Structure 1
């Protein structure tokens, strides 16, 4: 580092001698930013965050070092506790038991994403025409339950980013690919956005409709433009939604255009330009991983898989609370509802709350007297809803039994045996 100024050299030595001195490290980081050394600044800010995780100045400096737009505050949340105290003598408590500690999980079912579009009507093949969203302040803590999923994500992506010195020691690169698979409606999209929030990274959600074009060669240009946009604004999470459509097995394709899209996707994931993917994290989701082209799952690409199952009991309670938070309810026994909704996806639970609200609304309209949503409404709704994951597990069972080559679906086999479905 012969090109360093004497001040930088002296501060580097001072920081090494006093690693817990956060103000000193922040001053050092500011000087690195002034000299345009953003990568080093990110590493220093990450260390400062370890010592002062709640310090707003440190978080702001990390955002500046990553060259991301500042994150705005959460919108104000309605104070239900205060409202309940005001009407305590008129209506009963909202839930039969005390509220859980978990906050709003923001639906652990698949979140609705803003389509990835070219702004201003520009050429979609131009990287500057694609938007990179900010994930806001969504974190994995907002995902109810699913601790095993969180632990795998921590090992695959989050720990290397939070510990730059250990990352360098163990030769861990700032790029990688992970395939999320499982039944529909279980929160794969929301988990991907939460990973981007944990990394302080940009977020791009890409589906087949964003890529496919009627003109020859344009679809491949779109794939390249998406990755170029992510590289320019790294760190960035590229989320490939419904990978079975975007990266289907080429042996089953009769249209050369789709085969070329898969070929271009492989080129972007590795090849001669692989070194340029530092800071680009590729997450993909599919309900049918057995339909994904095998080349996409080779080492260095989407080589790690993570089974995202229907929400467990803590997650189901969090999701139910979230979807009932703005509805008129009284003395709802969530424990009873949680017990009878095993194997329900996040989307199923959202539908359950919607159906219960319909029962209470129809009853109020018929009687002419407005009433609250109660446990009985939710129980009646649960009886009418069949878990959407059942058909998926029926298909997955055959794959686990007869197509588990190389143990790629061992986690699925373990789950099916545990549930006595295999």
Structure 2
């Protein structure tokens, strides 16, 4: 075993190497592990925190942080029936609850007691099926989405209820033809809701973006669109989800050149089931700019129903914040004032806020040479710095609600903006 006297030159050499290559995570973690073995936990925490600041999900760094804060090294399991079962990994291999118990007399709890626990993230199953377009099997449900009750009710009425009740559909002669268009500001969870809808239906989920369809070679884009529908039909029941529909099928009157026009024509033919039956294929799409989508796609039997996905409400913001702070070393954070300060933030804005707070604590730790936890002040300071990204979208949407809503397509948008005094 290398003793303290023999380790000193090696540690000095590694410190110099880290100073020369501060972004080398492997080098930092090697130094941190030797520092822990040498009993220099405080300096080790600083190096591990630097890695976690850049890669919050780094499993080895999280495990070293636990050791540096007092958690014992997990023994290697030995073969044979007498071996203890390995401790289950939580939070990327690091059990924060155990670490907090070890240092409860030094640092406070991660969240204040009056904060309700949010829903645990539900994993999405691995893709199944072969070929270029793989179909996922989501385990997500609408109940797993925090808050957003108004959006859930609208999705239930517009899409889920007719799909679930076969006898009522037969009684009222309700057709399953047609699809649903989710629209709203960017970063508010339209794709997340689409996956939850697939989970509610117990169906597969095939997400398609503009990069999956468009091709520089003549004829390939139309072929790609056809292949997308073939994959969805083969995996039925399946939710076929087109992300950023305005990019794939923008108004043909605004399209320069014939290639994109042919893609839209092919998509219309596939939606109408000209060459094959779409039984068991449920159509969903998302768009930040639904007013730029070709009008032919909004006609009955296509994407004829719309749901506005608004920025997350109070309950949803709490759940999103807890989700993005779940693997970070936070101390005694009260989410209620933070939720109040972030009204109008999108889910993406809230993720950025957590990153900014982490960076603030990390830089402070580097400057002082003493690692510390992320505190309420870090998060409130980040909330003051980060601006909601939804503002420009609502500026454009205001013009649509005022001057391009003669047919009532955006009545829900106009009503929401009036409630928020944005109209």
Q: How many residues align?
A: 333
Other-structure match for 1:201? 203
Deviation per CA, 1:198-247: give whole Å up to 9, x if none. Answer: 11111111111111112222211111111111111101011101111101
Give the conservation status (yes or no) of the 8 Å contact 1:135–1:194. Answer: no
The alignment partner of 2:332 has SS state of coil
Other-structure match for 2:17? none
Other-structure match for 2:11? none
Give the conservation status (yes or no) of the 8 Å contact 1:175–1:280. Answer: no
How far the C-alpha of 1:176 sits from its partner, in A, is 3.4
Give the conservation status (yes or no) of the 8 Å contact 2:138–2:198. Answer: no
Counterpart check, 1:100 vs 2:102: no
**C-alpha distance in 1 between matches for 2:233 and 2:287:** 24
How far the C-alpha of 1:145 sits from its partner, in A, is 1.0
The alignment partner of 1:277 has SS state of coil
Counterpart check, 1:249 vs 2:267: no
Q: Which runs of 5+ in 1 are unaligned?
A: 1-74, 120-127
Deviation per CA, 1:386-408: give whole Å up to 9, x if none. Answer: 10000110111111111112110
Which stretch of the first structure deviates more once superposed, 138-147 or 389-398? 138-147
TM-score normalised by the chain length of structure 1: 0.74
Other-structure match for 2:134? 132
Other-structure match for 2:237? 235
Other-structure match for 2:14? none
Shift in alpha-carbon separation, 1:187–1:106, aligned structure 2, 3 A: farther
Other-structure match for 2:103? 87
The alignment partner of 1:195 has SS state of helix
Give the conservation status (yes or no) of the 8 Å contact 1:106–1:322. Answer: no
How far the C-alpha of 1:76 sits from its partner, in A, is 5.9
**C-alpha distance in 2 between matches for 1:264 and 1:238:** 16
How far the C-alpha of 1:368 sits from its partner, in A, is 1.1
Other-structure match for 2:63? none
**C-alpha distance in 2 between matches for 1:155 and 1:80:** 41
Give the conservation status (yes or no) of the 8 Å contact 1:106–1:319. Answer: no
How far the C-alpha of 1:82 sits from its partner, in A, is 5.0
**C-alpha distance in 2 between matches for 1:77 and 1:281:** 36
Shift in alpha-carbon separation, 1:414–1:239, aligned structure 2, 3 A: same
TM-score normalised by the chain length of structure 2: 0.74
Other-structure match for 2:387? 386
The structure having more radius of gyration, on CA atoms, is 2
How far the C-alpha of 1:331 sits from its partner, in A, is 1.1
Shift in alpha-carbon separation, 1:77–1:135, aligned structure 2, 3 A: farther
Other-structure match for 2:407? 406
How far the C-alpha of 1:349 sits from its partner, in A, is 0.3
Q: Which runs of 5+ in 2 are unaligned?
A: 1-87
Other-structure match for 1:159? 161
What is the RMSD of the two structures over their aligned residues, measured on CA atoms?
2.5
